[in-house]
Structure 1
Amino acid sequence: MKTSAGATVEDVNHMVLQCIEGMQSKIPSRGHLRGVGLSVPGLVNRQEGILTYSHTFGWKDIPLASLIRKKTHIPVFLDNEANLLSLGELCFGSGKIYKNFICVDIRYGIGCGIVYENKLLDIPGELGQICLDNLTHVKKDMPRLTLEDRASDHAVLKKVEIMLQQGSTSSLLKSYTGPVTLDRFREALLNNDQAALSIFNQALSDLGIALAFLVNIFHPEAFIFHGPMTENNPLFYSRLREVIDTCSLSPFSATLDLKPSRFQNMGGSVGAVALVLHELLDLNPAFFTKS
């Protein structure tokens, strides 16, 4: 289930309830739905089931789990979406072969989930909120230039839109009717379109510098990437490798793996299933740890 950045709490509740009804209708008569896992963008109090803050939605202190539970009488659990991507990889995916890895989710924003010593740290990584502004320009409660303003999928397409409005972009990007989508932008990259490559390389330079910080701090064995721009895109990995190798300590980056998630757009659902299994059946208490 996907939600847009402008969705209200009522919108999300309605969509979740519809989804639950759809699942219940497919369960055999002797079975029942044991629990629901929700993957949400933002800061989460996992124990209380509260979305503490979401930059994407502009929400604060929303008790999502209890709102859904009151309507369905089914146990509901939620966590940050990047954390659940990491949990899914740890339980069922590429993360099973690593003790220390970081999942990076690049879509409208940029988040990361950190697994250390085979445990998911309870620290939703708001990587996209790293401030890139000159400090002399930063004022309290004023908009800031952040990493997700420069390197998210949304930021890349916004840059294309601005270049098209200024008439300074390539003939290939101009040839598309309607707005340039991520698929069309990827097509331009594969066709060696110079305007698309310029935008892409700048975004990956900013992202790579941020990831190099994480390499130096956490010493991960791998970065596992989620998001449309990271799938079947060798340019993404080759450019990112260059930046990380340049900006991080060489002993840490020498054996670092960069790979896409094999779950693709199902990663959040896989992580939500892992969360429900943990909370209800306590399959592996070691999956979670406090930072």
Structure 2
Amino acid sequence: MRTIATITANEMRAINRSAVLEVIRQYAPISRVEVANRLGVSLPTVMRLVDDLLAEDLIRPSQTSVSTGGRRGELLEFNASGHLVVGVDLGGTKIHGAITDLAGNILHEVNVTGHMTHGEDSYSLLVNLLENLSSIAASSGKHLLGLGVGVPGVVHPESGEVSLAPALNWNDFPLRPRLERYFGLPVVVENDVNLAALGELWFGAGQDANTLVLITVGTGIGAGVIVNGCLYAGTHFMAGEVGYLVPDRTFLGKPLEGFGALERLASGTGIAERARQRLKAVRPVEALESLTAEDVFEAARAGECWATEVVDETVDYLAQAIAAIQLVIDPEVILLGGGVSNSADLLIEPILQRLAGVIPVQPALLPSRLGYRAGVLGAMVKLLRVTANYYLLQKFS
């Protein structure tokens, strides 16, 4: 049976507080009167909420002031530079860590490639990176708001437990509780693609959208789904696990362990493997072992037939997935990210050509603007929302 929710007085205050904070963040420098006018809320209500936000140091007086005909009025701005966040995008083979402020400015970052760790070794590597970044952030003298971690798997949004992350060999791994005990700071743990989608929503190619889907094609394939400005997790917290889409009837009735059917064919790993199968009779085994998806796209640009065929097949597989996403969710924009998005010039237009006239609405398909930094910026967004008791309001028509 569906739960019927009501709003308490405290929740109503939190909703209004979130709206005031968001207006100041977007339209600063801004006066209290203009905030009230934009929101249609009484000035005394805005003044009380502004006092709360000033006390929490989330906003501050602006250096700019405005004349109201008498004394010059105080303007307000979001205190983006006064707080820092440490974010880590923990991949199966690569890690990107960064220190950001609340405006999305990256102040320090580090990349780890080819770590190839699993289980407790992955956790130890993560803790070491978070310790180093937290130490650098602390040396700035600014307030460290907390830590945000993106992982390539299924995350329970309330407990912060990683239910399934094949690339790290994590199953029911209590990541957030362990990190909170170790660091004594607020921690958010989320699927890596979900965080990347939040990053694109606030700072990237999705800034003008309320509903978007970010598809990342790398070692695997995943999608972050945002509906009306909020992440959509799904009943089993697996919304966006599009790597498990079935691109062909030959996969039916054949249980797969680890990676799904679509990502076995169209991920970076899948692209490289299909290329190896085509070349195994003409190239030495040793040469094929190091073949990557980037090599395939480079060869396709050079006009090599085997590579062109592999890329064409990849376009077909991704076009089917994008058609399904467009028809089921109908987002304002679909973004293509991940390592393979570096070759978006060979993918986006061909995908749109495949779908022209096939589905009723042509998707607005764009490349990611933030690239590998999207995840750490999304970690900042989610951490701010969690620590600031952030609400988004939707009215059903």
Specify the TM-score bucket, using the shorter chain as the normaliser: 0.7 to 0.9
Partner in structure 1 of residue 347 of structure 2? 236
More strand by share: 2
Displacement of 1:141 after TM fit?
6.9
Moved more, 2-11 or 95-104: 2-11
**Is the contact made by 2:213 and 2:333 (CA closer than 8 Å) also made in structure 1?**
yes
- 1:208–1:49 Cα change, 3 Å: same
**Is the contact made by 1:82 and 1:111 (CA closer than 8 Å) also made in structure 2?**
yes
Moved more, 55-64 or 1-10: 1-10
The answer to whether residue 145 in structure 2 is matched with residue 8 in structure 1 is: no
Counterparts of 1:133 and 1:215 in 2: how far apart (Å)? 19
Displacement of 1:200 after TM fit?
0.9
Moved more, 225-234 or 263-272: 225-234
Match of 2:391 among 281, 285, 288: 285
- 1:55–1:112 Cα change, 3 Å: same
Partner in structure 1 of residue 11 of structure 2? none
- 1:258–1:142 Cα change, 3 Å: closer
Moved more, 224-233 or 131-140: 131-140
The answer to whether residue 193 in structure 2 is matched with residue 73 in structure 1 is: no
Letter in 2 for 1:20: L
Higher RCO by CA contacts (8 Å cutoff, separation 6 or greater): 1
Letter in 2 for 1:285: Y
Counterparts of 1:285 and 1:94 in 2: how far apart (Å)? 23
Counterparts of 1:22 and 1:11 in 2: how far apart (Å)? 17
Q: Which has the larger radius of gyration?
A: 2
> TM-score, normalising length from structure 2?
0.64
**CA RMSD in angstroms, aligned pairs only:** 2.8
More helix by share: 1
The answer to whether residue 335 in structure 2 is matched with residue 224 in structure 1 is: yes
Letter in 1 for 2:388: L
Counterparts of 1:144 and 1:3 in 2: how far apart (Å)? 14
- 1:92–1:143 Cα change, 3 Å: closer
Counterparts of 2:201 and 2:341 in 1: how far apart (Å)? 19
Displacement of 1:58 after TM fit?
4.0
- 1:182–1:138 Cα change, 3 Å: same
Letter in 2 for 1:138: G
Structure 1: 5+ residue stretches without partners: none
Counterparts of 1:143 and 1:39 in 2: how far apart (Å)? 19
Structure 2: 5+ residue stretches without partners: 1-88, 94-115
Match of 1:129 among 244, 249, 252: 244
Displacement of 1:25 after TM fit?
2.5
Counterparts of 1:81 and 1:92 in 2: how far apart (Å)? 16
Aligned residues with identical type, % of pairs: 23
Match of 1:87 among 193, 198, 202: 198
Aligned pairs for 1:97-246 within 5 A: 97-123=208-234, 124-132=239-247, 134=249, 138-139=253-254, 146-167=261-282, 179-231=290-342, 233-246=344-357
Displacement of 1:177 after TM fit?
8.6
Displacement of 1:143 after TM fit?
8.2
Displacement of 1:24 after TM fit?
2.5
Partner in structure 1 of residue 68 of structure 2? none
Query: Aligned with 2:171: secondary structure?
Result: strand
**Is the contact made by 2:166 and 2:259 (CA closer than 8 Å) also made in structure 1?**
no
- 1:54–1:216 Cα change, 3 Å: same
Partner in structure 1 of residue 383 of structure 2? 276
Report the count of equivalent residues: 278
- 1:210–1:177 Cα change, 3 Å: closer
- 1:190–1:25 Cα change, 3 Å: same
Letter in 2 for 1:258: L
